Chains A and B, each alone.
Chain A
Amino acid sequence: MASLSTKVKLYGEASSKTIDFNKDVILQDDSDGNGPYIKEWNVTGLAQPTDADLATYDAAATTDETNNTVKNTRKVAYGDIGDQLDEIFKDIDAWKARIQGIKDANPKS
């Protein structure tokens, strides 16, 4: 199951709202077995979602999180941007081939 923050983020984006988790929405987990919950909801013009509302974003949120992991794997494999600029300067086609190989090896959902 996707994390609450991802579902809240997608719920906001569906209404063209970018959620700031430092002031718009505060999530909390008291480590008591009940899981995370919305502690504060301060999004102007958008009602706090119900559990049912959030459940509709579960699949999309799972995909989002899976793709985040893929993006991070790719980013690490791409390497330092300075080194990549050096690669491009020396042989841009070789660089493109290496990047394409990383993308192919780590496809997004």
Chain B
Amino acid sequence: MSKIFVDQVDPKTGTSLTLGTSGDTVNIPSGVTLANAGTVTGLPASAISSGTIATARLGSGTASSSTFLRGDQTYAAAGGENTPAFEATRSSDQTLSSSTYAKIQFDAETFDTAGAYDNSTNYRFTIPSGQAGKYYIYASATLSANAQTEFNFGNIVIYKNGSEYRNLISDHRANPVYRPYLAVQAVMVLAVADYIEIYGRVNSGVTPKIQGTNANYFGGYKIIE
């Protein structure tokens, strides 16, 4: 094997320089550094067969254990948060007027991440500024006829902006009962300033009520999209 000692190799004519012929192998021995300050083209990804590619080479943004690489090659936070979120309960009795839809006064907040639930005046959840989107809304109540065999029918209803949105009825007129538990839920597309309330109703021969139990609750949270 002969050696050529030279400081620079340039093409004799034109601007293209070829090393070897098809089928040849050009070896770069261990310890040799191939320093590139120009442009490398035609290097197939399959040729990278060892080592680890730095995350900064894969995309823009901050790569970390809590981010993932998106299809547009940017790092983004994984998951997201289901907020705003709230839940409130009604632990004491609320007297109803028979056959009358009454707003249920869920007066004790369990949590309210955005301060968007009013638990003292209007008993409603209002979508805060910048938080429009899809929400999962749920509520339940123990609707009591206040006496055995007096509950004829009753409802639990989601109201959106003062109008009925979803109405569940439990009808026992042929065989009246005492105090069924009803639950309602919905995935709702809500805009900023939309408000959600829960109403309940009991048809009873005697004065009915929302019975104060820990089964009375009203909550919701924004769905990650």
Contact = CB atoms under 8 A, between A and B. Distances in A.
Interface string A1-39: 001111000000000000001100011111110011001
Contacts of B203: 5, 21
Interface stretch (A66-74, A85-93, A100-108): A66-74
A5 B208 CA distance: 12
Contacts of A22: 153, 169
A39 B162 CA distance: 12
A6 B169 CA distance: 20
Nearest to B122: A32
A76 interface: yes
A35 B155 CA distance: 19
B207 A65 contact: yes
B107 to A, nearest CB: 10
Interface residues of B, number: 23
Contacts of B199: 28
B101 A3 contact: no
B61 interface: no
B105 interface: yes
B157 to A, nearest CB: 10
Interface in B79-129: 96-105, 122-123
Contacts of B99: 3, 5, 21, 27
B147 interface: yes
Q: Does more than half of chain B's interface fall in helix, strand or loop, or is it mixed?
A: loop
B149 A72 contact: yes
Contacts of A31: 102-105, 123
B147 A27 contact: no
A72 B205 contact: yes
B149 A36 contact: no
17 contacts: A3-B100, A5-B98, A22-B153, A28-B101, A29-B97, A29-B103, A30-B102, A31-B103, A31-B104, A32-B122, A35-B97, A36-B97, A36-B100, A68-B206, A72-B147, A72-B149, A76-B147
The 6 closest A-B pairs by CB, nearest first: A5-B99, A68-B205, A27-B100, A31-B103, A29-B102, A21-B99
Interface of A: 3-6, 21-22, 26-32, 35-36, 39, 65, 68-69, 71-72, 75-76
Given A28-B101, A29-B96, 17 more contacts: A3-B97, A5-B97, A6-B98, A21-B99, A22-B153, A26-B101, A27-B97, A27-B100, A27-B101, A29-B103, A30-B102, A31-B103, A36-B97, A36-B102, A69-B205, A72-B150, A76-B147
